[in-house]
Amino acid sequence: MSHELFLAFSKLPPAETATLVIYVAQDGAPEGEAKAVWEKTGQDFAKIAKSVGFTGKPGHMIDLVAPSGLACERLIVLGRGKDGALDKPSAWADRGGSLMAKLEATHARAVAVILDEPGLDPRRVAELAAGARLRRYRFDKYRTSRPENGPEQMSVTFCLKDVAGLDVAVADRMAVVEGTLMARTLVNEPANVLGPVEFAGIANRLSDIGVTVEILTPDDMADRGMGALLAVAQGSERPARLVVMQWHGAGRDDAPLAFIGKGVVFDTGGVSIKPAANMEEMKGDMGGAAAVTGLMKTLALRKAKVNAVGVIGLVENMADGRSYRPGDIVTAMSGKTIEIVNTDAEGRLVLADALWYTQDRFRPRLMIDLATLTGAALVALGHDNAALFCEDDAITNALLAAGHETGEGLWRMPFGPGYEKLIESRFADIKNSGGRKAGSITAAHFLRHFANGVPWAHIDIAGTAFGASPSETNTSWATGYGVAVLDRFIRDHHER
């Protein structure tokens, strides 16, 4: 495997350390352990800092090659910014990502990072390590020749005085990282490799870590009357799947939390075909399903004390002789009839049956769906916030807080009777598109018909699942958005 990373924690740097890293506060000089290290070089810190313009801002670096007085090959001094700049947990992850970027740029292999500063608790160290791991992620399995982008293997030892409680905190945070990386890889995979059946096969492997997985075939779905999901799937050679994942981490009779994901492995738009420009990005139209699957992995890995179900609707939206068409009227599992006015508004049809099935079967205390549902969400909020639709203020505030903590941002959007009017149909109970106006909102209104009154939140991740410019913790196209924020929400509000 390429780009491996081995992380360790100890009081002292290992003997074979080639790259030693110390931190310096903004407008400061090395202190404590960092000072002891620097003094061995016999160099004038202020003079060197001035000559390279180092002020200790995050991202600033002094790179001392073959330092005299030290056994290592390289001493890297990194800026850690002002005190208080690291109050948000996600700021620590960013710092870990920024560290990894420097280590890769300098081709570091055996690294020790001296951490000796106020306010360092296990959770922050875990964030730092998580950020480093997230930044290290590459999706380059399809390149037969690799561009030069850092060493193949790297070990990083974080050195701190007090390592008590670290193993637990780090393992816990790494469970979330694993879920995020799983989601990224699922989104990055091309649709010729990852169809509904292949995706279901990957989800099925979560049974190895204690998740109960069931897979429904088109016949199973037809038996249950899932006419909306199946209408989308009917134009594809590749059969649909509905995957049900259950994690039991709490008492038997605790109603579960339910997470529902849109899993359109490729969205051509169907007969209402999309323009050619950027259509390749529609391999990521299963970002909601990827996040739900990654989340189930996280919950199982960290043995979360919660009951959770993940339901993902996996289909391909193709233009073909068997495709559904504009004007068709289909009947959802709920019994509602839907007039198809645009076959490119397919995600809500998949979710309609997935939501109904979920509330009908599990009676969850809460349902949250994630979907790359509307281009309008991307237009409204760009890549920095997902659109959150939820009529319950307590759930909304909890989700917004989790977004703030993790850096996976959310922004609340409205419901209202005027929007509902836009999806009234001339022939059926509702139609599947309200047209150009308020596209994300009318999509949410459509979904609301299928939540059946169960407390429910809808998160439109069309802008956040992929395509963001590189960040401190991610340089890959897919972001894995959703795993961290939902994990945080569960921890803070639904675990005892």
In DSSP terms, 6 is beta-bridged to: 155
Out of 342, 396, 452, 471, which residue is the one contacting ligand BES (CB under 6 A)?
Answer: 342
Q: Indicate the residue among 96 and 313 with the shorter CB distance to Zn ion.
A: 313
- Is residue 346 within the footprint of ligand BES (CB under 6 A)? yes
- Shortest Å, Cβ 259 to Zn ion: 18
378 binds, among ligand BES, Mn ion, Zn ion, none (CB under 5 to 8 A by kind): ligand BES
CA 196 to the chain's CA centroid: 20
Q: Indicate the residue among 31 and 429 with the shorter CB distance to ligand BES.
A: 429
Residues numbered 205 to 234 that lie near ligand BES (CB under 6 A) are: none
| C-alpha span between 349 and 358 (Å, rounded) | 14
Whether residue 348 lies in the annotated active site: yes
- 3-state SS string for 468-481: CCCECCECCCECCC
Return the C-alpha torsion angle 4, 65, 17, 98, nearest 10.
-40
Q: Classify the phi-psi angles of 480: left when phi > 0, otherwise alpha if psi is within -120 to 50, otherwise beta.
A: left
CA 14 to the chain's CA centroid: 33
Closest CA to 113 of 67, 175, 157: 157
Residue 367's SS3 state is strand
Q: Indicate the residue among 159 and 187 with the shorter CB distance to ligand BES.
A: 187
- Shortest Å, Cβ 16 to Mn ion: 53
Give phi and psi for 392, each to the nearest 5.
Answer: -95, 120
- Is residue 347 within the footprint of ligand BES (CB under 6 A)? yes
Out of 116, 178, 285, 408, which residue is the one contacting ligand BES (CB under 6 A)?
Answer: 285
Q: Indicate the residue among 344 and 487 with the shorter CB distance to Mn ion.
A: 344
Residue with tokens 């969850």: 364
CB burial of residue 425 (10 Å; 0-12, 13-18, 19+)? middle
Closest CA to 102 of 78, 131, 85: 78
Whether residue 274 lies in the annotated active site: yes
Residues numbered 448 to 467 that lie near Mn ion (CB under 5 A) are: none
- Is residue 316 within the footprint of Mn ion (CB under 5 A)? no
- Is residue 116 within the footprint of Mn ion (CB under 5 A)? no
- Other CB atoms within a 10 A radius of the CB of residue 212 amount to 12
- Shortest Å, Cβ 341 to ligand BES: 8
Q: Indicate the residue among 194 and 318 with the shorter CB distance to Mn ion.
A: 318
- Is residue 369 within the footprint of Mn ion (CB under 5 A)? no
- Is residue 316 within the footprint of ligand BES (CB under 6 A)? no
Q: Which residues bind Zn ion (CB under 5 A)?
A: 264, 267, 285, 347
- Shortest Å, Cβ 483 to Mn ion: 23
Closest CA to 222 of 213, 210, 231: 231
Identified catalytic residue from 133, 348, 431, 491: 348
Out of 178, 344, 369, 408, which residue is the one contacting ligand BES (CB under 6 A)?
Answer: 344
Pairing of strands 385-390, 409-412: parallel
Stretch that binds ligand BES, among 24-32, 108-116, 176-184, 341-349 (CB under 6 A): 341-349
- Is residue 326 within the footprint of ligand BES (CB under 6 A)? no
Identified catalytic residue from 88, 274, 412, 448: 274
Q: Indicate the residue among 28 and 375 with the shorter CB distance to ligand BES.
A: 375
| C-alpha span between 186 and 310 (Å, rounded) | 16
What residue ranges in 37-185 does DSSP mark as E strands? 61-65, 74-79, 110-114, 153-159
Sorted by sequence, the CB contacts under 8 Å of residue 432 that are 6+ apart come out as: 338, 339, 340, 341, 342, 345, 348, 349, 423, 446
Binding residue count for Mn ion, defined by CB under 5 A: 3
Residues numbered 358 to 417 that lie near ligand BES (CB under 6 A) are: 372, 374-376, 378
Stretch that binds Mn ion, among 159-167, 187-195, 267-275, 378-386 (CB under 5 A): 267-275
Out of 178, 267, 339, 472, which residue is the one contacting ligand BES (CB under 6 A)?
Answer: 267
In DSSP terms, 184 is beta-bridged to: none
Binding site residues, Mn ion, CB under 5 A: 267, 344, 346
Binding site residues, ligand BES, CB under 6 A: 267, 285, 342, 344-347, 372, 374-376, 378, 433, 439, 462
- Annotated catalytic sites, by residue? 274, 348
